[in-house]
């Protein structure tokens, strides 16, 4: 079962290695991890996509909470959060495929951010499933390079949570 | 007042109530040691190896309940502390370890004696700090002590660069700490506690399973009162020994791999298991699928991650064990008549347990020609003070001690349970003796583990720490040999310590006293002489070489599949 966990941490040196080390040391999976400071500059926010059965996910949350530098852990259940991910995609674009790439970019409301006679570089944002979908269409046309941020997530509704 | 970082650290230690530290000087702590030279409020003990320094601080902490403090220099000094830190981490022992570090400007440059000790110890510390600015030092020390001793205790490391020791600032010790990411749950949920008492009163075959958490939380008194009120049998883990008097008829002794027959049968047959400050370690549970198969489980622990980590739990209570037990006791007292009735109705269950106890009591085949290790342990109990502190190493002697010594008071057994660190015993005893100069302190070890930290006899002699060292010498790494005998066709691969060492002469070389017994008839005389000789004494007992620790639950087997005679 894949889960998206958001972790609010002290913006201090070594925090990332504590979190990453916890996952590797206890054999938990990390599918993706993104981290950056929040609106409060002493805080950073991590979004971790992980997988495991119910007992493992419970342990992951508890173990994260046990770290001194972790202030809050939220395990977003289905539908309770909005997830967005960005991908930068370099595709071959020559002859006939040039127009096809543009059509795909248009359908997915993505953007071309760099052009050469032989390639397009695309910026796409959306839920991870949408990124998967655009990649599936672009792959046969010649995917040269791919960078994904991993998703970030925010809870639905009016309530915002901080430290 | 303005002071340099080194002085500030010492002032902080003093304000935290630290009286004794164990440390080893070196290049990056030389400024700290220079301040220490004229600082009279802290006693410094110089071990002969940094690992032993940390074990000594650990033994000090276990015996007193206070935070143990150790100091080491950067690089090799720091890496030598790791086994000590990991030992304390596994057993939740409150320590503050201060390591020197190269000057901040050099960090990351592969400077002389530089090592990323924060990175190396990250998985075996509760938390760690690098002091980058002397202005943060006092707050960091305050936080370190608070983190080490609160919640589930553990070791905290402070990496202290040389230039920060020299830098000067105004010293002010904060009165309180507030760490927004660290708010341990202290009070157990009252409704859960009431529910727990109801569950207990609804059971017919309860067992209370007690771990080191009860010792750490100073909850032995509450536990004992509660168990007696309920008339419920109590089994303890290695770490829990001493939290319930073993001379009480309700005591089942140790459970698990080398537990008693009655404890393991009772746990297997019980309908309710009340786990208090214990963490369902594999050495305790055996095969997890068949562990307490008929039981509902109540789990009281200060650490939420312990709950449901290894076993399903029907009723979790997160909180300080002492407080939760006191509250349970109060709830039980409020329904006194019901509890009395319950205790009476447990008579058949206690009867079943007695039958198990009588069927297979702990025992061994006595001998008149060769010394049985169990005899030595029994004689040690008989001839020692009731409040004697016993440290052990790791291996057969540790299990014989756990089985035969009979611990009746908390904080009288110091043993590396979780990590199983050979070489732990002697320095741990040293730490306890430093804390309690007047109490009888002994270490029971094997010839293997003793040799891992035997250099510390020098520290004992130098500091007049009269630790009594009992070596059960079988010239084997006995526990591994036992496994090789039982599970590897007696292929004794590298477990025979072939060189016979003269431990009596060794003691004398250090300026200590050495005694030896080779026959059962000499055991008592040697112990008596050893205990009455002032100063550190080695008592060597040449024991039956291939004696085994029994009963034994083979690794991966169920608790009721004990090997009783092999």
The residue from B170, B203, B225 where one domain ends is B170
Query: Does residue B132 lie in a domain region?
Result: yes
pLDDT in tens, B17-66: 999 999 999 999 999 999 999 999 999 999 999 999 999 999 999 999 99
Structure tokens at B50: 């940094």
Q: What is the mean pLDDT of residues B97-116?
A: 97
Residue B566 confidence (pLDDT) above 80: no
- Whole-model pTM: value is 0.96
Question: B152: nearest CA in chain A?
Answer: A66
- Could you tell me the residue range of the domain that residue B210 belongs to? 190-359
Residues B223, B234: Cα–Cα separation, whole Å: 9
Query: Does residue B498 lie in a domain region?
Result: yes
Question: A54: nearest CA in chain B?
Answer: B308
Residue B94 confidence (pLDDT) above 80: yes
**Residue B349 sits in the same domain as residue B314:** yes
How confident is the model at residue A77, as a pLDDT?
A: 74
Contact between residue B537 and residue B515 where contact means Cβ atoms under 8 Å apart? yes
Of the CA atoms within 13 Å of residue B194, those in its CB half-sphere come to 5
**Residue B354 sits in the same domain as residue B392:** no
How confident is the model at residue A1, as a pLDDT?
A: 82
Radius of gyration of chain A (CA): 18
How confident is the model at residue B448, as a pLDDT?
A: 97
Residue the block writes with tokens 């400050």: B277
Q: What is the mean pLDDT of residues B73-90?
A: 98
Q: What is the CATH T-level fold of the domain A82-152, as seen in this structure?
A: Alpha-Beta Plaits (3.30.70)
Instruction: Please calculate the CA angle B531-B535-B540 and round it to the nearest 5 degrees.
Output: 55
How many structural domains does chain B have?
A: 3
How confident is the model at residue B97, as a pLDDT?
A: 98
Q: What is the CATH number of the domain that holds B117?
A: 3.40.50.970
State percent of chain B over pLDDT 90: 99
Contact between residue B55 and residue B431 where contact means Cβ atoms under 8 Å apart? yes
**Residue B312 sits in the same domain as residue B204:** yes
Radius of gyration of chain B (CA): 24
Residue A162 confidence (pLDDT) above 80: no
pLDDT in tens, A107-161: 999 999 999 999 999 999 999 999 999 999 999 999 999 999 999 999 999 988 7
Q: Write down the mean pLDDT value for chain A.
A: 94
Residues B513, B389: Cα–Cα separation, whole Å: 20
**Residue B196 sits in the same domain as residue B290:** yes
Structure tokens at B373: 């290790």
Touching check for B147 and chain A: CB below 8 Å? yes
Full DSSP string of B493-552: TT-B--S---HHHHHHHTT-EEEEE-SGGGHHHHHHHHHHSSS-EEEEEEB-TT----SB
State percent of chain B over pLDDT 70: 100
Residues B295, B313: Cα–Cα separation, whole Å: 10
Closest Cα of chain B to A159: distance in Å? 20
**Residue B110 sits in the same domain as residue B249:** no
Touching check for B183 and chain A: CB below 8 Å? no
Least confident of A39-43, B237-241, B492-496: A39-43
pLDDT in tens, B406-448: 999 999 999 999 999 999 999 999 999 999 999 999 999 999 9
Of the CA atoms within 13 Å of residue A131, those in its CB half-sphere come to 20
Q: Around Cβ B252, how many Cβ atoms within 10 Å?
A: 26
Question: B147: nearest CA in chain A?
Answer: A68
How confident is the model at residue A13, as a pLDDT?
A: 86
Parallel, antiparallel, or unpaired for β A152-155 and B20-23?
unpaired
| Closest residue by Cα to residue B203 from B230, B236, B226, B235 | B230
Of the CA atoms within 13 Å of residue B55, those in its CB half-sphere come to 31
**Residue B462 sits in the same domain as residue B528:** yes
Contact A68 B119 (CB under 8 A): no
Contact between residue A69 and residue A10 where contact means Cβ atoms under 8 Å apart? yes
pLDDT in tens, B465-518: 999 999 999 999 999 999 999 999 999 999 999 898 999 999 999 999 999 999
**Residue B355 sits in the same domain as residue B384:** no
Touching check for B182 and chain A: CB below 8 Å? yes
Would the CATH topology of A2-78 be identical to that of A82-152?
Answer: yes
**Residue B201 sits in the same domain as residue B293:** yes
Of the CA atoms within 13 Å of residue B529, those in its CB half-sphere come to 13
| Closest residue by Cα to residue B476 from B453, B450, B515, B458 | B450
Residues B320, B530: Cα–Cα separation, whole Å: 41
pLDDT in tens, B355-376: 999 999 999 999 999 999 999 9
Closest Cα of chain B to A1: distance in Å? 18
Contact B119 A17 (CB under 8 A): yes
**Residue B234 sits in the same domain as residue B278:** yes
Residues B338, B336: Cα–Cα separation, whole Å: 5
How confident is the model at residue A79, as a pLDDT?
A: 78
Question: Residues B445, B449, B453, B458: is their CA dihedral positive or negative?
Answer: positive
Contact between residue B415 and residue B363 where contact means Cβ atoms under 8 Å apart? no
Query: Does residue B554 lie in a domain region?
Result: no
The DSSP symbol for A53 reads: -
Parallel, antiparallel, or unpaired for β B206-210 and B272-276?
parallel
Query: Does residue B412 lie in a domain region?
Result: yes
Contact A9 B130 (CB under 8 A): no
Chains A, B: CB pairs < 8 Å: 39
How confident is the model at residue B147, as a pLDDT?
A: 98
Full DSSP string of B337-368: HHHHHHHHHTHHHHHHHHHHHHHS-S-----S
| Closest residue by Cα to residue A68 from B127, B427, B423 | B127
**B90 interaction partners in chain A (CB closer than 8 Å):** none
ipTM of the complex: 0.92
Query: Does residue B555 lie in a domain region?
Result: no
The residue from B138, B170, B202 where one domain ends is B170
Helix (H, G, I), strand (E, B) or coil at B127: strand
**Residue B415 sits in the same domain as residue B352:** no
Question: B309: nearest CA in chain A?
Answer: A59
Query: Does residue B368 lie in a domain region?
Result: no
Q: Around Cβ B76, how many Cβ atoms within 10 Å?
A: 12
pLDDT in tens, A97-119: 999 999 999 999 999 999 999 99
Query: Does residue B556 lie in a domain region?
Result: no
Residue B275 confidence (pLDDT) above 80: yes
Angle between helices B336-345 and B321-334 (to 10 degrees): 100
**Residue B60 sits in the same domain as residue B200:** no
Each domain of chain A, given as residue ranges in start order, spans 2-78, 82-152
Residue the block writes with tokens 């020559």: A94
Report residue B565's pLDDT band, with 50, 70 and 90 as the boundaries: confident
Q: Which residues neighbour A82 within 8 Å (Cβ) at sequence distance 6 or greater?
A: A127, A153, A154, A155, A156
Contact between residue A86 and residue A123 where contact means Cβ atoms under 8 Å apart? yes
Structure tokens at B390: 């016993």
| Closest residue by Cα to residue A122 from A100, A91, A84 | A91
How confident is the model at residue A96, as a pLDDT?
A: 84
How confident is the model at residue B360, as a pLDDT?
A: 96
pLDDT in tens, B194-206: 999 999 999 999 9
Cis peptide before B551 (omega within 30 of 0): yes
Q: Which residues neighbour B340 within 8 Å (Cβ) at sequence distance 6 or greater?
A: none
**B184 interaction partners in chain A (CB closer than 8 Å):** none
Q: Write down the mean pLDDT value for chain B.
A: 97
**A62 interaction partners in chain B (CB closer than 8 Å):** 304-305
Helix (H), strand (E) at residue A147: strand A143-148
The CATH code of domain A2-78 reads: 3.30.70.260
**Residue B245 sits in the same domain as residue B140:** no
Closest Cα of chain A to B164: distance in Å? 17
Annotated catalytic residues of B are 50, 112-113, 162, 479
Residues A8, A10: Cα–Cα separation, whole Å: 7
């Amino acid at each position: 079962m894949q889960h998206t966990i958001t972790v609010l941490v002290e913006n201090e040196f070594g925090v990332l290695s504590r979190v990453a080390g916890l996952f590797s040391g206890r054999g938990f999976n990390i599918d993706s991890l993104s981290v950056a400071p929040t609106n409060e500059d002493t805080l950073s926010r991590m979004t971790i996509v992980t997988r495991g059965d119910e007992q493992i996910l419970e342990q992951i949350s508890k173990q994260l909470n046990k770290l001194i530098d972790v202030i809050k852990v939220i395990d977003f259940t289905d539908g309770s959060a909005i997830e967005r991910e960005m991908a930068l995609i370099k595709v071959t674009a020559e002859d006939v495929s040039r127009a096809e790439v543009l059509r795909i970019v248009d359908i997915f409301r993505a953007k071309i951010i760099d052009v050469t006679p032989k390639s397009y570089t695309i910026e796409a944002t959306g839920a991870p499933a949408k990124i998967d979908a655009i990649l599936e269409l672009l792959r046969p046309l010649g995917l040269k390079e791919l960078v994904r941020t991993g998703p970030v997530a925010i809870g639905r509704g009016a309530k915002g949570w901080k430290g | 007042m303005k002071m340099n970082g080194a002085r500030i650290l010492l002032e902080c230690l003093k304000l935290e109530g630290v009286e004794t530290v164990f440390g080893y000087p070196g290049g990056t702590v030389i400024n700290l040691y220079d301040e220490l030279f004229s600082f009279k409020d802290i006693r410094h003990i110089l071990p002969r190896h940094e690992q032993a320094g940390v074990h000594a601080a650990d033994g000090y902490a276990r015996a007193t309940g206070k935070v143990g403090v150790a100091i080491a220099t950067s690089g090799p000094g720091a890496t030598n502390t790791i086994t000590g830190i990991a030992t304390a981490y596994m057993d939740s022992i409150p320590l503050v370890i201060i390591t020197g570090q190269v000057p901040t400007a050099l960090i990351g440059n592969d400077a002389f004696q530089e090592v990323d000790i924060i990175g190396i110890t990250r998985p075996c510390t509760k938390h760690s700090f690098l002091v980058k600015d002397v202005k943060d030092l006092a707050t960091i020390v305050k936080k370190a002590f608070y983190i080490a001793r609160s919640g589930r205790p553990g070791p905290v490391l402070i990496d202290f660069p040389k230039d920060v020791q020299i830098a000067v600032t105004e010293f002010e010790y904060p009165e309180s700490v507030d760490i927004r990411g660290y708010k341990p749950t202290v009070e157990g949920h009252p409704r859960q506690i009431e529910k727990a008492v109801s569950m207990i009163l609804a059971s017919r075959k309860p067992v209370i399973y007690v771990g080191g958490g009860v010792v750490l939380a100073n909850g032995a008194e509450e536990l004992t009162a509660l168990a007696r009120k309920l008339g419920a049998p109590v089994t303890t883990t290695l770490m829990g020994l001493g939290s319930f008097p073993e001379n009480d008829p309700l005591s089942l002794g140790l459970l698990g791999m080398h537990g008693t027959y009655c404890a393991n049968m009772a746990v297997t047959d019980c309908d309710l298991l009340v786990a208090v400050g214990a963490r369902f370690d594999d050495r305790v549970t055996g095969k997890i699928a068949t562990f307490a198969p008929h039981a509902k489980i109540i789990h009281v622990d200060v650490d939420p991650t312990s709950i449901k980590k290894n076993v399903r739990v029907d009723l979790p209570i997160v909180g300080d064990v002492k407080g939760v037990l006191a509250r349970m006791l109060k709830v039980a007292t409020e329904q006194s008549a019901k509890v009395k009735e319950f205790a009476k109705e447990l008579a058949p269950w206690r009867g079943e347990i007695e039958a198990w106890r009588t069927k297979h009591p702990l025992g061994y085949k006595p001998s008149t020609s060769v010394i049985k290790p169990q005899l030595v342990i029994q004689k040690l109990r008989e001839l020692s003070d009731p409040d004697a502190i016993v440290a052990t190493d790791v291996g057969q002697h540790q299990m014989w001690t756990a089985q035969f010594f009979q611990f009746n008071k908390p904080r009288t057994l110091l043993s590396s349970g979780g990590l199983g660190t050979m070489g732990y015993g002697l320095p741990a005893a040293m730490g306890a003796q430093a804390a309690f100069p007047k109490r009888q302190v002994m270490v029971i070890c094997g010839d293997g583990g003793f040799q891992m930290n035997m250099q510390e006899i020098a520290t004992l002699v130098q500091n007049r720490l009269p630790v009594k060292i009992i070596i059960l010498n079988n010239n084997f790494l006995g526990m591994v040999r036992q496994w090789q005998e039982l599970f590897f066709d007696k292929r004794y691969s590298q477990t025979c310590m072939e060189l016979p060492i003269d431990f009596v002469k060794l003691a004398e070389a250090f300026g200590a006293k050495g005694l030896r017994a080779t026959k059962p008839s000499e055991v008592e005389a040697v112990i008596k002489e050893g205990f009455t000789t002032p100063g550190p004494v080695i008592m060597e007992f040449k024991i039956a070489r291939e004696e085994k620790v029994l009963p034994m639950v083979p690794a991966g087997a169920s608790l009721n599949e004990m090997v009783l005679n092999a």
